[in-house]
Amino acid sequence: MQGHEHPEEGEEKEEPGPDNAFEKSPFQLTAEDVYDISYVVGREILKISSEPQGEVPTRVAQLQFKIVRILEMLEALVNESNLTVEELKMERDNLKKEVEGLRKEGPPGNAEQLSLGPDKMIIDLTDPNRPRFTLQELRDVLQERNQLKAQLLITQEELQCYKR
């Protein structure tokens, strides 16, 4: 059901600007988008409080989908932040190991280490916590998962409309 092409007075999509913030990737949100999301949620709450009792469950369901989308966006941002923190921790630990190794060796005389260069990293293959995926691969998987969740919510919302 595509009721979004012809919005009528009093429908949810009367102002496409603020509602578009829900469609964005969490990593592309701006402060203005956050205000738009807040506006849309507030608008929905006002509609619920002014609706006849029979319409309240429908409005609550619509608001629920928006709140779930907001929580998914927050989850993606938190996961991104956690990945960055973990990446920094791994880099710090690797640098510590490298410095310890250099200190044990004393003066640099090992030709093998000199040939590695400044942009190379030594990874202990027996370390169970060694990096296995790039940060970009993890970001891509998380973003794809969040897009699939959003599509599922939209499909569930459309299914609810069909059931009515």
DSSP 52-72: -GGGHHHHHHHHHHHHHHHHH
- 109 in any annotated domain: yes
Q: Which residue has the higher pLDDT, 58 or 150?
A: 150
Reduce the DSSP state of residue 12 to 3 states and report it: coil
Residue 50 CB partners (closer than 8 Å, separation 6+): none
- 9 in any annotated domain: no
- For position 132, what pLDDT does the model report? 78
pLDDT digits (tens, 9 = 90+) for 43-89: 888 888 887 777 778 878 888 888 888 888 888 888 888 888 888 88
Contact predicate 139/146, CB 8 Å: no
pTM above 0.85, yes or no: no
Q: Which residue has the higher pLDDT, 7 or 64?
A: 64
Residue with tokens 């990096």: 131
Average pLDDT, the chain: 79
pLDDT exceeds cutoff 70 at 11? no
Q: By percentage, how much of the chain surpasses pLDDT 70?
A: 84
Range of the domain at 90: 16-163
Helix (H) / strand (E) element for 96: namely helix 56-105
- For position 24, what pLDDT does the model report? 84
Instruction: Give the chain's domain count.
Output: 1
- 135 in any annotated domain: yes
- 5 in any annotated domain: no
